[in-house]
Amino acid sequence: MSHPTVTPTPAPNLVADTICRTAELGLSIDIAADAGNVTHLYCHSVTVDSNCPHCGHSCRVRDHVERQLMDLPIAGHPTLLHVRVPRLVCGNDDCPVTVFRAPIPQAAEDRQSVTHRVTRWILQRMAIDGMSVKACARALGIGWDKTNQLALTACRHLAYGDPTGWTGSESSASTSTSGSTSRRVSWGDGSPGFVTVIVDLTPLIDGAGPARLLDMVPGRSVDAFGGWLDARGSTFRRRILVVTMDGFTGYAKAATQHLSQARQVMDPFHVVHLAIDKLTACRQRVQNETMGHRGRSGDPLYGIRRILLTRKSLVTPANAVKLDDVLTSQAHLAVQVTWHFYQEILAAYQADRPRDGKLRMFKVIKALHVKIPNDLRELRVLGQTLWRRRADILAYFDTGASNGPVENINGKLEHLRGIALGFRNKANYILRSLIHSGGLREAINAL
């Protein structure tokens, strides 16, 4: 029985191939057709790999099929490629592969409906020209969700999917550092939600540039951060030697489970913020107990609410007198004690030498753990939290790593959300955030 043979390849259309640049896709145009809003290009592959992908044996042609791929717009209209691709049969009788479609790796991966250069075009238009997802989708003739997903996947690949793009390599002299925190976001439908923000701090430590946004994951939980780490693979995780984070216990648990070799650091900003929360809660409680109402103008404790939060060395002489008059009252003793420990925490972080600061902080944590009476309930809760996270808190004095750059990126993301007048879904918010703060502009320009 005779076997089908390859149809003779027509002569290449050099003018059409040059104008449409199909040579970089490994394709040649046979004929073109204008169908109103869409330009149809009928192409064939210039070279065909006739070897079996499983066993490497030579194959014979069974028949041909048409594969449709969306390509770059031509003259402002979407372009659809109709690629004539041979289907091959492996010549090895023992091979489990029977019939398969010949790949066209230069143009697109298997099961993809767009060419490789479409993704590059989307990123460049969004990052350089400021085009919206909707405008890109309209120009390409594909759906909004497809366009957004292509761009988001490509951004994540540029950010950490490519080993050469992850700055914290094992050969680097500096310590690879990752920062994580969460932020609350209100979506277009009015529903609140959280996203976990993951930042690479290595460029800042190396002096190569600012910290960069690695990714954002919907949710604020052990699974949100742990699932992201687990999906990166063991090679990626081994490169992370220091993790800075806010006070959320879920992040610490996820880091313990997936980054056993990494040093965990609880950020100083969040440690101080914990102390501020307890000092404020103590002042409000004592205010109610002594005055019978919430703070009002003229109430002693209400009048010093801002002075209480100021570092002692920065308090003006006039405010120092006012502070001393209120805190020395017997009725305000609980506030005075809580304020004292708050100042000790600040002083530990302001020490000239990290060793001195670490020793001072350890003494504060130990004192709060063993010497606080029951009536100082706010300090007891603070002491329990600090004691439980003492290793993470003290690690700051050894590593010097903090979540400050992460909070800086948080501010940029808040500005982005403001100028965009809100985002209606999380995928678009994450994509825009990566383009805005992911440090990817140079990588996108080089595509």
Angle between helix 377-388 and helix 390-399 axes, rounded to 10 deg: 60
Tokens of 423: 């985002």
Residue 114, beta-bridge partner list: 70
Pair 26, 45: CB distance under 8 Å: yes
Q: Residue 407, by phi and psi: left (phi above 0), alpha (psi -120 to 50) or beta?
A: alpha
What token pair was written down for 257?
């489970």
Q: How many Å apart are CA 89 and CA 432, to the nearest integer? A: 45
Q: Return d(Cα 344, Cα 282) in angstroms, integer.
A: 17
8 Å CB contact between 276 and 297 = no
For the chain, report the end-to-end CA distance as a whole number of angstroms.
49
* DSSP H or E stretch at residue 245: strand 242-245
In 3D space, the residue among 436, 443, 447, 446 whose CA is nearest the CA of residue 212 turns out to be 436
- Tokens coding 230: 């687990």
| 163-267+402-445: CATH, from 3.30.420, 3.40.1760, 3.30.2450, 3.10.129 | 3.30.420
Please list, residue by residue across 257-275, b when 16 or more beta carbons sit within 10 angstroms of its beta carbon and e when fewer do.
ebbeebbbbbbbbbbbebb
- C-alpha 40/C-alpha 304 separation (Å) is 74
Tokens describing residue 307? 């002075």
Q: CA 216, CA 133: separation in Å to the nearest integer?
A: 19
Q: Identify the pLDDT of residue 2.
A: 40
| Closest of 57, 58, 105, 55 to residue 85, by C-alpha | 105
For 75, left (φ over 0), alpha (ψ -120 to 50), or beta?
left
* Residue ranges per structural domain of the chain: 14-113, 163-267+402-445, 268-399
Question: CA-to-CA distance for 244 and 267, rounded, in angstroms?
Answer: 6
Strand 59-74 relative to strand 77-90, pairing: antiparallel
Angle at which helix 354-370 crosses helix 377-388, to 10 degrees, equals: 130
Residue type, 320: A
Beta strands in 75-176 (DSSP E): 77-90, 99-101
According to DSSP, the residues that pair with 58 across neighbouring strands are 51
- Residue 308's pLDDT is 95
Residue 80 pairs in a beta bridge with: 40, 70
CA distance 172 to 341: 40
**Predicted structure pTM score:** 0.72
Sheet with strand 177-186: strands edge to edge: 212-218, 192-200, 177-186, 242-245, 263-266
Look at the chain and count its residues: 447
Cα three-residue angle 437-129-182, rounded to 5 degrees: 20
Q: Going residue by residue through the chain, which has 447 residues, state the pLDDT in tens, using 9 for 90 and above.
A: 344 444 444 555 777 878 888 888 989 988 888 877 899 999 998 888 888 878 878 888 888 899 999 999 998 899 999 999 998 888 887 888 788 888 898 998 888 899 999 998 999 898 888 888 999 999 999 999 999 999 998 888 888 775 444 443 322 222 345 556 666 665 554 555 778 888 888 877 777 778 888 888 888 888 888 898 888 888 888 888 888 888 888 888 988 999 888 899 988 988 999 999 999 999 999 999 999 998 898 899 999 999 999 999 999 999 999 999 999 999 999 999 999 999 999 999 999 999 999 999 999 999 999 878 888 999 999 999 999 999 999 999 998 888 888 888 888 888 887 777 667 777 888 888 888 888 887 777 766
Q: Which two tokens stand for residue 119?
A: 């993704």
Q: Measured between alpha carbons, how far is 105 from 444 in angstroms, rounded to an integer?
A: 21
Q: CA-to-CA distance for 329 and 199, rounded, in angstroms?
A: 46
Q: In this predicted structure, what is the pLDDT of residue 279?
A: 96
